[in-house]
Amino acid sequence: MTCELFAEGDSLIHKLDPRPKVAGAILFSVFLIFVHHLPALCAALAGSVILAALAKLDKRLLLKRLFIINLFIVFVCVFLPWSVAGPPVSLPLLPNPSTKGLKMAVLLFLKSNSMVLFNIGLLSTSSIFAINHAMAHMKFPPKLINLFFFSWRYLHVLEEEFHKMRRAALARGFVSRSSLLTYRVYANILGGLFVRSMDRGERVYRAMICRGFNGSFPLLSHFHFHRRDIGAALAFGTFLIILAGMEWLVKNH
């Protein structure tokens, strides 16, 4: 399974300390919730695009990812021009959309996309373990961090096991179609996976106890703020202030 599509690279963004990256992603997303006007949203999207460019992400993979996400976003937006009442506007191809609904749809589309793009640029450029590590330094509850850690550690193991069992079923002539038999076969595969993961959980726990696990992982390496981290934080801060300023100006005119 290729999950961490964007985590590898040696761009400036990849080198940043994951702690400010996590904080920045959260801050940006929360900030954008409160932005409701076009200029600031366009600027936010532009900022996200610049971030993605700085991270030197693989364009094909990125577009593919954005396309999938936009299926969800469009599903919600597409009805807005007709379901929100307002004065109609005449456009080619679209029968009588209302201006208000159309505006809402465009704003939503911009907002969602800039959030997604920004999070890909900032969060997905760190590995999950780095994010987990950052969470540990950011004083998240230790049980949650361990849960996160073990989940990610065993996700691939389980996935591989699932595919192994599925391959075994296919090798025995199993054809996936919508029938009770298919559901039963999938259920047995998943049931097997379930029982094995329960057993594995128990084994992992015992193995950890044998190695003197006391409920938390000691952190060997510590993060250090570099000059580039401070620079990035300052750039991000000014960006947010500019956005806030734009939003405020538009709102009061």
Residues 189-208 that bind another protein (CB under 8 A): 190-195, 197-202, 204-205, 208
If you ran DSSP here, which 8-state letter would residue 6 be given? T
Number of Cβ within 10 Å of residue 45's Cβ equals: 19
**10, 34, 172, 227: which one binds another protein (CB under 8 A):** 34
**182, 229, 242, 244: which one binds another protein (CB under 8 A):** 182
Give 100's Cβ-side CA count (13 Å radius): 5
Rounded alpha-carbon distances, angstroms, from residue 225 to 26, 122, 137: 19, 16, 13
Site for another protein contains 128 (CB under 8 A):
yes
Residue closer to another protein by CB (options 28, 239) is: 28
Least distance to another protein from the beta carbon of 250, Å?
18
d(CA 242, CA 233): 14
Least distance to another protein from the beta carbon of 61, Å?
12
**60, 90, 141, 222: which one binds another protein (CB under 8 A):** 141
Least distance to another protein from the beta carbon of 49, Å?
16
E strands along 6-65, which residues?
none
Residues of this chain, 221-250, that bind another protein according to CB under 8 A: none
Give 170's Cβ-side CA count (13 Å radius): 7
Q: Using CB under 8 A, which of the segments 32-40, 51-59, 228-236, 238-246 binds another protein? A: 32-40
Rounded alpha-carbon distances, angstroms, from residue 40 to 36, 70, 190, 233: 8, 21, 47, 20
Q: Which residues contact residue 16 at a Cβ distance below 8 angstroms, ignoring those fewer than 6 apart?
A: 228, 229, 232
**x-or-dash string of contact with another protein, 78-117, rule CB under 8 A:** -xx-xxxxxxx-------x-x--x--x---x--xx--xx-
Q: Using CB under 8 A, which of the segments 50-58, 122-130, 220-228, 236-244 binds another protein? A: 122-130
If you count them, how many residues does the chain have?
Answer: 253
Least distance to another protein from the beta carbon of 227, Å?
27
d(CA 158, CA 161): 5
Q: Using CB under 8 A, which of the segments 47-55, 150-158, 218-226, 232-240 binds another protein? A: 150-158
